[in-house]
Structure 1
């Protein structure tokens, strides 16, 4: 027998025995509870076993259960409802409506086959572009062009021109001018050879009697009027005008219908028109196209009297008492011409540094003449003292800006009337012995006509040293009458004068005053 030695104490052994007893007691109670079950639990177990047996029998082919019967009846009801609803929908024709609402299928055409790709062209490699400026090279003049090129106007052929060759508007089908009619020639020949001396007060009273509302307004030339002349006829009222395009026209005022005719004897601005009482059948015209022409009514031609070098131009003309013609040019020169000789040209002298706008012969001294230039100088000259190198004037008058016109008083020639862009009209006295000029009066007058109007030209009343006329920029539009002492005596104003008359001319014998504007219209005031 083997002896087991333990290391537990007495108390420990007692508690272990007690625990063992309790466990054995619990096991015995559990066995008793299982063996002695109540009858109710046995009945429940028996009924459950029976139900299970019946279910197994049904699955094996026995009679259906109540649950299965209920499921089958419920399914049959659903199927019946579905069949009824489908029959109702078929009676409504819903399927046909659905087909009609659906749009027919669109048959898209088959896409055409793609063309074969073009073979890529080899691009030539070009270096970066550089301007001539970046290359420090000058510009090539051949590559420089303008966006607008003015049409080149054909120059009029040199030599005489028949009226019908250069006829414009107002000429009859046969090309015959009304100036060539015998009746008109007779009227034009009736002129006063001796200049009329007018008394200032009497002429002023007559001017005041003129009704401006009866003014004759007529368009004569196409463009801005740059020159005018009133024919000295005692019976016919005839006013000639020239414009900046070289057109030459006239207005014959009659008791019935007025007559207007236009010609184009020049291809540049017509700057001066002059008529001598000794030659009433001739109208002289000077132009920027370097020619001096004479409209000969007897012969029916525009005769060419003189042609300068190119781009010199003829600005103004007059006659000395010895019948020598003097002409002013655009380069500051003055020519002495003899129309009776074949060469015509007698001499040319440089009298100004810039354009000579006007030239005027002295009325009593056969050798003196006056020039007004855009170099702001007015000079009095003696034709006997001309020098090719440095001609010396007898007297000078200086403006602050360009001088547009300068004229000697028509009777004695002892006064000078000048118009300038410095907004002044100046009157100076002349020493008749030495020709020295001394300024007497300066009038403030707005002469800033701008580029669209012809510059003003203050002119003496023919036969009177006391009155002069000039256009005005003031409103209402007017033609002003001044005294030689600088007083404003009268203004022609009215509805008929609706524009600026830059140029004013007066009939040498009758009270006929004509004004020209920038649209080619003439305004003619006639004594009733």
Structure 2
């Protein structure tokens, strides 16, 4: 080979080696840059991020070891039902369904029904306030007055009979009328004495009344489960002056002492019984008994022998205590819910009834079995009425309504629509756990009345018929609850109030 041919080949080989060296140098440079880039990126990451990347790497290694993705696919394949299985299941359900013959009405076919008739609904289920699990009422007939809060056989204290005999001696005392200024002054002097609060019954008080004796403050109260109690302020008998009896088995919604014989305390209950506590005979006599829930009563005669009794289902019964037995003379339906009846103090044939949303005055001599026409009505109530009472002369009627109004009507003339005299805004929404607030007249002052309050601090308030607030009774130490049930003493400067825990409070001078 000539030297001229070998020279180009040598140059070509040198060029090729040079290119290979350049490529290797370039590759090393790229690897070094990439490595430097990774190192720089890791240097920019925080310690937490580096730890997180390491945890992700370890989790991937663990999942690949247990072959989790493949296990998930196998589980889905095993649990997914085949289309043929779905269709077979649907067919089996349809096959199991039996075809029933079409129903045909016997009435349309003009055929008599051969089915067994349903048993009659028990009367207890028809009553509004009857419960399924209540205790049965006491058996008819007299009940012995054995107090349940003292030792059996202790008998009644002799002081009780002495208080009743004292009333007959002072019954003819004349009532002294006070002007409004003197009356307010007397109210301001009334406070709760040191022993003026006592737990007289076990449950919520539904009704309470003062005994008319003057030498001592003797009070009666009835609670939710039929207990009747007598409390003599400052007496040493019983427990703190309290004697307790189980006269009824449901709420004692109304009670009153007989004006003709103050040794008699009449009490009425939702259990359908009206009984007379005869202190002289030491028995609870049976006056009236029915299957319906009784709500209210009042005396229709001056000797307190005849009564008008109202039931929740709208029945008004005339009961004569002189008639043997515990039945009624007549029963008349007013086709409404009765919450209160009150007899005119002078004209005893008239009585006012607090109905659902109407207050009506009826004449007992013209009552009918149904559709009795009222002599007088009082309009303007938009919700249920809890009470309606005549004043001591019968010239006014005081109503308490759940529309948060206290109303006073002029009944000096019993015309068809009694005119409204005063309407007072007053919060009356006590709820289901408190007895309803009702306004009651002061028998010593015709134009003044008392009622409890939902306001704080707790109080008892006395109003004039014009709507003027005369006095608020407060006591931060002794009065801390709502006194829903209130009443004036018939002759002394005293007011009682009962609450939902069975306690009576007394304000006196």
The 1-side partners of 2:191 and 2:164 are apart by 30
Identify if the C-alpha distance between structure 1 residues 448 and 337 changes in structure 2 by more than 3 Å, giving closer, same or farther: same
Contact 1:180–1:298 (CA<8 Å) still a contact in 2? no
Matches within 5 A, 1:122-201: 151=133, 153-164=135-146, 167-169=147-149, 171-178=150-157, 183-187=162-166, 189-193=168-172, 196=175, 198-201=177-180
The 2-side partners of 1:287 and 1:259 are apart by 24
Structure 1 residue 317 and structure 2 residue 281: aligned?
no
Structure 1 residue 377 and structure 2 residue 358: aligned?
yes
Contact 1:190–1:235 (CA<8 Å) still a contact in 2? no
Identify if the C-alpha distance between structure 1 residues 464 and 186 changes in structure 2 by more than 3 Å, giving closer, same or farther: same
Tell me the residue number matched to 1:205: 185
Tell me the residue number matched to 1:483: 464
Tell me the residue number matched to 1:265: 247
Larger Rg: 1
Identify if the C-alpha distance between structure 1 residues 152 and 440 changes in structure 2 by more than 3 Å, giving closer, same or farther: closer
Tell me the residue number matched to 2:281: 299
Q: Point out 4+ residue stretches in structure 1 off by more than 6 angstroms.
A: none
Identify if the C-alpha distance between structure 1 residues 268 and 256 changes in structure 2 by more than 3 Å, giving closer, same or farther: closer
The 1-side partners of 2:493 and 2:469 are apart by 19
Tell me the residue number matched to 2:403: 422
Tell me the residue number matched to 1:247: 227
Structure 1 residue 349 and structure 2 residue 336: aligned?
no
Contact 1:409–1:416 (CA<8 Å) still a contact in 2? yes
The 2-side partners of 1:268 and 1:368 are apart by 29
Tell me the residue number matched to 2:367: 386
| 1:468 alignment partner, SS class | strand
How much has 1:172 moved relative to structure 2?
A: 3.5
The 2-side partners of 1:296 and 1:221 are apart by 20
Tell me the residue number matched to 2:383: 401
How much has 1:236 moved relative to structure 2?
A: 2.0
Identify if the C-alpha distance between structure 1 residues 183 and 490 changes in structure 2 by more than 3 Å, giving closer, same or farther: same
1:331 to 313, 329, 332: 313
How much has 1:433 moved relative to structure 2?
A: 5.3
The 2-side partners of 1:435 and 1:233 are apart by 39
Tell me the residue number matched to 2:218: 238
- The CA deviation string for residues 98-123 of structure 1, in whole angstroms up to 9 with x for no partner, is xxxxxxxxxxxxxxxxxxxxxxxxxx
Identify if the C-alpha distance between structure 1 residues 299 and 212 changes in structure 2 by more than 3 Å, giving closer, same or farther: closer
How much has 1:192 moved relative to structure 2?
A: 2.2
Tell me the residue number matched to 1:465: 446
| 1:456 alignment partner, SS class | coil
The 1-side partners of 2:423 and 2:220 are apart by 32
Contact 1:163–1:263 (CA<8 Å) still a contact in 2? yes
How much has 1:158 moved relative to structure 2?
A: 1.3
The 2-side partners of 1:200 and 1:304 are apart by 43
Identify if the C-alpha distance between structure 1 residues 190 and 524 changes in structure 2 by more than 3 Å, giving closer, same or farther: farther
The 2-side partners of 1:220 and 1:381 are apart by 36
1:516 to 491, 494, 498: 498
The 1-side partners of 2:314 and 2:443 are apart by 28
Contact 1:192–1:277 (CA<8 Å) still a contact in 2? no
Identify if the C-alpha distance between structure 1 residues 179 and 328 changes in structure 2 by more than 3 Å, giving closer, same or farther: farther
The 1-side partners of 2:160 and 2:297 are apart by 30
Tell me the residue number matched to 2:429: 448
| 1:448 alignment partner, SS class | coil
Identify if the C-alpha distance between structure 1 residues 480 and 299 changes in structure 2 by more than 3 Å, giving closer, same or farther: same
Structure 1 residue 500 and structure 2 residue 479: aligned?
no
Matches within 5 A, 1:33-52: none
Contact 1:394–1:436 (CA<8 Å) still a contact in 2? no
The 2-side partners of 1:454 and 1:195 are apart by 35
How much has 1:250 moved relative to structure 2?
A: 1.7
The 2-side partners of 1:294 and 1:243 are apart by 16
| 2:339 alignment partner, SS class | strand
Identify if the C-alpha distance between structure 1 residues 329 and 193 changes in structure 2 by more than 3 Å, giving closer, same or farther: farther
Contact 2:210–2:219 (CA<8 Å) still a contact in 1? yes
How much has 1:218 moved relative to structure 2?
A: 0.4
| 1:205 alignment partner, SS class | helix
How much has 1:300 moved relative to structure 2?
A: 0.4
Q: Which runs of 5+ in 2 are unaligned?
A: 1-91, 94-99, 102-117, 119-130
Tell me the residue number matched to 1:222: 202
How much has 1:313 moved relative to structure 2?
A: 2.2
The 2-side partners of 1:353 and 1:197 are apart by 40
Aligned residues: 381
Contact 1:316–1:357 (CA<8 Å) still a contact in 2? no
Q: C-alpha root-mean-square deviation of aligned residues, in Å?
A: 2.8
